[in-house]
Structure 1
């Protein structure tokens, strides 16, 4: 059984947390060490609401990935006597069961190994667990990869969402929360107003376009089939458990290895960053207080340019960043993306009216994140070297790593659901 002693605190201090497994289960040892998760802090959000009477069995797609695993841990631990949480994941290259292994043995948690693009997998899971609520996080999300591997983004993000919507409609799902991105709005020029939820969608890269297309499907199922949906569009989210292909964990891991970071173009684009614990709180708030048929922006107050972000990381890691010579040691420049939006900016007033507020500053969140990656970055996923390339190009067949691992390793999973391979 797994024993969890505490949760993270709003102040950014880690609790004493320990998860021990005494069941002798084998776990995907080919890509993650067996014991890393046992000494990791069990991180979740801080919100708690009165359980909803019409919610009992929650399906979280992409539950072994970054953001979704934060939500899985939070819902499982916070509502242990109210909700059953089912993590549905195909275990693609950026996912790992280490993200949720601390929950193994809890009676209100289950993991279901399945492919979102396979209707029989989705329906089988819904039927087995009597799902009434869906939180849809599963997606290909690395913008760099979308320029060279766009078909896989369309398949997962658009077709996968279509499959899930069709299954949800057939099964009579009572609440469907679709997780999108602020990138569907497109670029917001410096000095431009923060965009509200009714703003026109104008995506500029293949990833953002696939997420906008998925939103159109979601809206069509709401209109045509009365599926009760809520759409969420968030700024960039960072924190522990994020696969190090994204900018913050990638930079931390490269610097930890003594390697310089690589900035796209001149390093001038800015992004707004939200700590994962605050994001988990936002999704919890929207699940419990959001209105069906509405769209909610999840926005951060912390906007920073890529070069300024590098300097913050160098300072937080005790590396020099005060002189041009020091910067040249740790910062390199590489070719920019074919197109790179200068900034994104959303207005989160609507979510604030539900009671949510950002709690963790970028400085505090980076400190937590750096500490976690120093301890676990090199062991959590196995070999992360390919992810640390400045502008990785992932071959199409490599996106099937999860499916291959699914076939090779699934029989090692003890106590988890098994589904037919497609």
Structure 2
């Protein structure tokens, strides 16, 4: 089976492309980073230098059986136009490429941010009504989902993996640890906030399962590690592994959220729109519980998470083999 992995120079895309190759797939990895494309080529993968975010790009002529679309812009802050370009235009071009390549399955990597509300949400299912988007990232990923699901001839599936981490992560745990080193972290609602993270190999396995699954009953699947972890515990255990200190400051949630919103407003008015020290979305992750129900992925994709958080931390910080 010949598979195109978009965003193969990114965190998930790189792990996934190599995993598919190791399983005997004929893999094409596309991306923008020349050095990372060269590294993929040294590992025996076919590579394709391609920026799918370009609105009027001339697409290459390729043939493949399936596409896993990982390329995206993921951030709690940024210009809406940049998110639209990467996430909406990028999805449109990936779908065009899949159609011309003769693909029979299109797997789109989305995000549980589309569910986000400023309140506790426990065991959210895929059919939960979606609220107004919390930010431009969630909005454009939701738009991309609609585009993908409309392409029924590509037998599309959408995965919403929560909180990816592992060796090579430059976003989730590094951002958390950087914030902990700069200041005390806000402890809101007595530290009850919890979430479920997902080790990178488990997300890659879920994408592989989606690629080959017989047409399931539904099209959208939650993916997570299946453990509801206190955010305070995540921060403290990661800091211990990284050999750095973390301190907490008790604060009312309304005050932290008000400060974050004011910071967003102020930064949005500045010429270069610098990222605030904390966004409302980031603050809310410390205040509210947000967990996913993954029963559908288990039952319909035949997938289950295998790496528990403690083991995932060891692999992340100590370089333990996958």
Instruction: Classify the TM-score, shorter chain.
Output: 0.7 to 0.9
Partner of 2:274: none
Partner of 1:97: 36
- Distance in 1 (CA, whole Å) between partners of 2:186 and 2:92 is 33
Query: 2:125 matched to 1:201?
Result: no
> Contact 1:189 / 1:343 at 8 angstroms: preserved in 2?
yes
Query: 2:93 matched to 1:163?
Result: yes
- In the TM superposition, residue 118 of structure 1 has moved relative to its aligned partner by 3.6
More helix per residue: 2
Partner of 1:248: 173
> Contact 1:119 / 1:167 at 8 angstroms: preserved in 2?
no
Partner of 2:74: 141
- In the TM superposition, 1:377-396 aligns within 5 A as none
Unaligned runs of 5+ in 1: 1-55, 322-326, 374-422
Partner of 1:8: none
- In the TM superposition, residue 290 of structure 1 has moved relative to its aligned partner by 5.1
Q: Secondary structure at the match of 1:123?
A: coil
- Distance in 2 (CA, whole Å) between partners of 1:154 and 1:212 is 11
- In the TM superposition, residue 319 of structure 1 has moved relative to its aligned partner by 4.8
> Contact 2:186 / 2:248 at 8 angstroms: preserved in 1?
no
- In the TM superposition, residue 204 of structure 1 has moved relative to its aligned partner by 1.7
Q: Residues 190-222 of structure 1: CA distance to partner in whole angstroms, max 9, x if unpaired? A: 3x4412222222232211111111111112222
- Distance in 2 (CA, whole Å) between partners of 1:274 and 1:122 is 35
- In the TM superposition, residue 102 of structure 1 has moved relative to its aligned partner by 6.0
Equivalent pairs, count: 286
Work out which of the two has the higher radius of gyration on C-alpha atoms and give 1 or 2: 1
> TM-score w.r.t. structure 1 length?
0.60
Q: 2:2 aligns with which of 57, 61, 68?
A: 57
Partner of 1:87: 29
Query: 2:291 matched to 1:345?
Result: yes
Query: 2:146 matched to 1:216?
Result: yes
The two structures, once aligned, show a CA RMSD in angstroms of 3.1
Structure number with greater CO (CA < 8 Å, separation at least 6) is 1
Shift in CA distance, 142/264, structure 1 to aligned 2, threshold 3 Å: farther
Shift in CA distance, 85/175, structure 1 to aligned 2, threshold 3 Å: same
Q: Secondary structure at the match of 1:138?
A: coil
Q: Secondary structure at the match of 2:292?
A: coil
- In the TM superposition, residue 265 of structure 1 has moved relative to its aligned partner by 7.8
Q: 1:237 aligns with which of 164, 182, 187?
A: 164
- Distance in 2 (CA, whole Å) between partners of 1:261 and 1:277 is 31
> Contact 1:184 / 1:209 at 8 angstroms: preserved in 2?
yes
Partner of 1:21: none
Segment drifting more, 149-158 vs 334-343: 334-343
Q: Secondary structure at the match of 1:74?
A: helix
> TM-score w.r.t. structure 2 length?
0.77
> Contact 2:55 / 2:89 at 8 angstroms: preserved in 1?
no
